[in-house]
Chains A and B, each alone.
Chain A
Amino acid sequence: MTAIPHDDHAHHGPATGLWRWVVTTNHKDIGAMYLWFSFAMFLLGGAFAMVIRAELFQPGFSLVEPEFFNQMTTMHGLIMVFGAVMPAFVGLANYMIPLMIGAPDMALPRLNNLSFWILPFAFLILVSTLFMAGGGPNFGWTFYAPLSTTYGPPSTVFFILAMHIMGASSIMGAINIIVTIWNMRAPGMTWMKMPLFVWTWLITAFLLIMVMPVLAGLITMMLLDITAQTSFFNAAGGGSPLLFQHLFWFFGHPEVYIMILPAFGIISAIIPAFARKPLFGYASMVYATAAIAILSFFVWAHHMFTVGMPFAAQLFFMISTMIIAVPTGVKVFNWVATMIGGSMTFEVPMLFAIAFVVLFTIGGFSGLMLAIAPVDYQYHDTYFVVAHFHYVLVPGAVFSIMAGVYYWLPKWTGHMFHEGLAKVHFWMSFIGVNVAFFPQHFLGLAGMPRRIPDYPLQFANFNMISSMGAFLFGLSQLLFMFIVIKCVMGGKKAEAKPWEGAEGLEWDLPSPLPYHTFETPPKIK
């Protein structure tokens, strides 16, 4: 029998210096790294968005070449989806799920660290394509073939392989989360006692395991079309560009829910805490989440109403899409019902949560409009679509992440954040996001197509307003960074449970958290 290195046995503190972060197996370290990485990507993707909005500030080619503009829209989308939103939720899962279920760590701690460290390398490759001959990906974040295969830049192979390792990271992370929840709950933590954040992540991890491999298969076909002249997406050889879109959206639509289900979990933790009432309809929340996840596999072609599908298919996808509004409506109803009659206070996490409920619902409604096939013929590929998904992703997913960060920041750092500055951050973000994206509805309805660097004069006013909102929103995120760093450095000492109405195992632990928690499982009442 070979001896196991000695340091593996003892459970003392972390290694010192930067090396600690490289070799760590601790879920809190890894969660923190995910969150910082995500924030860095958020700023980078945000910088690209600023380039887009600066170019669109007024008509005409004023700032960048159209070719570079295309790379900016593509990279903005890819980085925000795969680099900012997804890793942020995985980071929150890493940090919070073991605390919420009373587990000592994630199920497979080394695999966990691998999942994280793949990401910086993957994004290094992805971002470096911008500096390669022919430029980076310029075909939109959906990388439709044949635009990305026949007409893509030479760097497309680098893009594909970066996506491959990023996908591997997601799959490993998802497996880890699902096994942690399934196998590591403290005795007495039954399924229906789990916090909703844990429930939503269980279902999200399932979605990830189901669809990330499909994305891997799809980009493998792309790779072969590019390098080995296969005909998957080439009609001349009997393939079909539509095959690309079907496979992409079979991945892409569940992916959309991957980016919003954990948000539902966060909001379902925060609203009861500040309404000082238990969540209304806990069980229905669980079933609604599961229903949304299952339905998400049957709605993908609503992204493709205009490609020339049979009418029967359009009808099917239109109806299945609308059915999703039912479980989503259950959720919104439950959040509102939780607030009704509660003794509400409006600390910063709650402000973000309420803004989430209102603005996400607006995004949901525009989604319903887009789901109506005959109407979608008009809206398809216009700024209306841009407005819709930015409403569900920015004041939806991103606001929920910020709400979660403010909610758990005292627990992580042991300090309270500066409430006044955080309120300024909230209001700047709230105003910025609406000024940026609400006018885009009007632009889209009036016929402005998405992904263009120039536009006719009649769109000038709304574009200028939208750009100003975007700049305000972008600026306010620097304030967010300042608030978080200030809170990490110091501040008023946080109690174990800084929010009066907060529920959950994590609040039984001291703030800041000790390096190892729940080494023996807690007893759940």
Chain B
Amino acid sequence: MASSTHDKTPAYYVPESSRLPIAMAFTLFLLAWGGAGVLQNVSGIQQNSSGVWILSVGLVMFAATLTVWFTKAAREHMAGLNSEQLQESYRQCMKWFIVSEAMFFAAFFGGLFYVRAFELPWMAGEGAKAATGMLYEGFEYTWPLLTNPVPEAVPGPQEAMHWTIPLINTTLLITSSVTLTFAHHALRKEHRASLKNWLLATIVLAVVFLGFQAYEYYEAYAHLGLTLDSGIYGSTFFILTGFHGVHVIMGTIILIALYFRVLKGHFTGPDHFGFEAGAWYWHFVDVIWILLFFVVYIF
């Protein structure tokens, strides 16, 4: 029964009420509604003039609500409300969130694998469903795919993306994971100055990575004819590198937020879940990139 107390386990902090969830739910509504309107408008499906306003309000509210929510969570923790058990909940929550993120990317990797291992060879008249090739006379399977099965309908890119910039980017990201680990070790040993420097170095590396990535996209569109609408090579290239890039941007924002928290004196050697979660996220983004580097650029 509820009355039989168990002294060793401290009470679990359950906030009495909160306005944050409804604010966030409404924000997501604005983002979805406005986002759909903007997409309709931009792609010329339908005129939609209100979408851009709704989306803008949604984005502002999104940033505000997330900031308030995380600030509140951090304050609660520093006020000593979070028992060891609650902190364990946060840790597990973050781990499962990363699992779900991995599965999001798995859909894109899986799509690329299916197209390259089965679909395109079949369309080129090879393999178990070689009869498919009859529909696409003269189509040959090469990867990167520069000549699409029906080039008159979907013209392919002129050139494939070269691997030099991505190799630099791989080096940058791996280095950033190392510097972040140095920062983590410095935090454990309470070397605050060293922590700040390594964290700053990680942020710089992240921003340089994003710069190179932006340059690569510019090259793809301006000189290689490699665009979203240039067939399956461009589609898979942009969806994988694009969503990775979005995750790097989110990771960088997290790192910057962590940097400011460090400046304010947050986190201690034994107690720094916020930092740890950010680091996990960053390493995850790094691992995705390494996979992506081999699958998208090399093989």
Contact = CB atoms under 8 A, between A and B. Distances in A.
B29 A121 contact: yes
Given A108-B93, A216-B104, A520 B228 contact: no
A176 B97 CA distance: 10
B89 A183 contact: yes
Given A238-B115, A239-B115, A227 B89 contact: no
Contacts of A224: 228, 235, 239
Contacts of A312: 128
B33 A154 contact: no
Contacts of A117: 21-22, 25-26
B89 A108 contact: yes
| Most chain A CB atoms below 10 A, which of B36, B46, B79, B106 | B36
B45 interface: yes
Given A4-B81, A121-B28, A213-B103, A228 B36 contact: no
A176 B90 CA distance: 10
A520 B9 contact: yes
Given A154-B46, A175-B93, A1 B79 contact: yes
Contacts of B26: 117, 121
Given A121-B25, A521-B6, A238 B14 contact: no
B123 interface: yes
Contact of A25 (B17, B85, B230): B17
A175 B36 contact: no
Contacts of A218: 107
B40 interface: yes
B145 interface: yes
Contacts, number: 288
Contact of A213 (B35, B101, B115, B236): B101
B22 A23 contact: yes
Given A25-B16, A171-B100, A237-B154, A161 B35 contact: yes
A174 B145 CA distance: 39
A357 B239 CA distance: 45
A164 B32 contact: yes
A522 B18 contact: no
A161 B32 contact: yes
Contacts of B14: 11, 25-26, 104-105, 109, 516
A112 B21 CA distance: 8
A518 to B, nearest CB: 6
B9 A23 contact: no
Given A226-B43, A239-B235, A187 B6 contact: yes
A217 B104 contact: yes
A519 B12 CA distance: 8
B15 A157 contact: no
Interface stretch (A139-147, A241-249, A267-275, A288-296): A241-249
A22 interface: yes
A509 B1 CA distance: 7
Contacts of B45: 154, 157, 226-227
Contact of A157 (B39, B119, B129): B39
Nearest to A187: B6
Contact of A114 (B17, B24, B31): B24
A159 to B, nearest CB: 9
B9 A521 contact: yes
A209 B96 contact: yes
B60 interface: no
Given A125-B32, A221-B111, A508-B1, A232 B99 contact: no
Given A114-B21, A160-B36, A236-B150, A231 B81 contact: no
B92 A183 contact: yes
A162 B34 CA distance: 11
B153 interface: yes
Contacts of B75: 1-2, 4
B205 interface: no
A7 B89 contact: no
B28 A165 contact: yes
A105 B18 CA distance: 15
A221 B19 CA distance: 34
Given A175-B97, A235-B149, 13 more contacts: A4-B76, A112-B21, A121-B25, A183-B92, A213-B104, A221-B235, A221-B239, A224-B239, A236-B154, A242-B114, A243-B114, A516-B14, A517-B2
Interface of A: 1-2, 4, 7-12, 15, 20, 22-26, 103-105, 107-114, 116-118, 121-122, 124-125, 133, 154, 157-158, 160-162, 164-165, 168, 171, 174-176, 178-180, 182-184, 186-187, 209-214, 216-218, 220-221, 223-224, 226-232, 234-240, 242-243, 246-247, 250, 308-312, 508-509, 516-523
20 contacts: A2-B79, A4-B79, A9-B16, A104-B12, A113-B22, A114-B21, A114-B25, A161-B32, A161-B33, A162-B32, A165-B32, A171-B97, A178-B92, A210-B103, A213-B102, A231-B154, A231-B234, A247-B107, A247-B111, A308-B132
